[in-house]
Amino acid sequence: MSRRRTLGTKKKLALLVSAAAVAGGGAFAMASTSNAAPTPKSAAESTVCQGLATALGNNQRFIDGQRANPDAQSEARIANREAVIEEIKRKQEASGCAVGESAQGSQTEQPAQNGGQQAGGGQQAGGGQQAAEPSQSASTGNPGGGAAASGQQVCNGSTVTLSGEGGAPAASSNQFPAGTKLKVTNLDNNKSTTVEVTSVSGSCVLLNNAAFEQVREPGKFLIRRAVIEKVG
């Protein structure tokens, strides 16, 4: 009887050790799974990521335009936009997006007859004005052209995102010179903001951080349905 009880005890201990090992292995596998980094989302998978990718792409396009057609202020503009791009990358990482992903907004390019205008913005050294007279389409309400009448809808079909720049509410544009006032309305929440163009960019209109906060939907970095009006 004593021998049987001894063997039974040993078997029980062996079973307990085996069970503990199995449980420990399962816990390790669960811990490994939970610690695995989630796959970053692409612009096609998330509106947030698309908005950030569009903002990054527009700023990169502006930099490319400045490098292709440099002037006395290009170096400073490029340094500013590179800092903006780094800030957008930090937002991409914080939002679980693919860091560095770039996309272009749905913008209408300037007609070829506007020849001297840069791809990233319509200013020349010291001038602050567009490089050539706007096309005839500006007077008919089509996107582009700083000659649109006050109160006229412009930038038709354009999405709106943020430039990543700080400061008081303002906008940047490759269509309108500094001093132009634009009213941007987000049709998804009926919020509007009226801002002054203070710098050039790679899009018809980009809102800086403060202006974008006034019209954005929570958690979104892209306005798909926007109405943009020139008001001054």
**Could you tell me the residue ranges of all domains in the chain?**
47-104+135-230
The C-alpha angle with vertex 158 and arms to 152 and 161, in degrees rounded to 5, equals 115
pLDDT of residue 222: 87
Q: What would the two tokens of residue 82 be?
A: 């590179």
CB 118 within 8 A of CB 65: yes
pLDDT of residue 162: 85
* Pairing verdict, β 181-186 and 160-161: unpaired
CB 56 within 8 A of CB 102: yes
CB 61 within 8 A of CB 202: yes
pLDDT of residue 8: 64
pLDDT of residue 48: 85
pLDDT of residue 20: 55
Distance CA 154, CA 228 (A): 6
pLDDT of residue 118: 33
Distance CA 222, CA 186 (A): 10
* Pairing verdict, β 152-154 and 226-230: antiparallel
Q: What is the torsion angle, in degrees rounded to the nearest 10, for the CA atoms of residue 161, residue 165, residue 166 and residue 170?
A: -60
The reply to whether CATH 2.40.40.10 applies to domain 47-104+135-230 is: yes
pLDDT of residue 67: 92
Burial class (CB in 10 A: 0-12, 13-18, 19+), 195: buried
Residue 6 exposure: Cα atoms within 13 Å on the Cβ side: 3
Per-residue pLDDT of the chain (232 residues; tens, 9 = 90+): 555 555 566 666 566 656 555 555 555 555 555 556 678 888 888 888 888 888 888 888 888 988 998 988 888 888 888 888 888 898 889 889 999 998 866 443 333 333 333 333 333 333 333 333 333 333 334 444 445 666 789 988 888 988 888 899 999 998 899 999 999 999 999 999 999 999 888 788 999 999 999 999 998 888 989 999 999 8
pTM: 0.56
Residue 196 pairs with which residues in a beta bridge? 181
Q: List C-alpha distances in Å: 230 to 61, 169, 194, 215, 226.
A: 24, 16, 9, 17, 13
Q: What would the two tokens of residue 36 be?
A: 């695995």
Residue 153 pairs with which residues in a beta bridge? 229
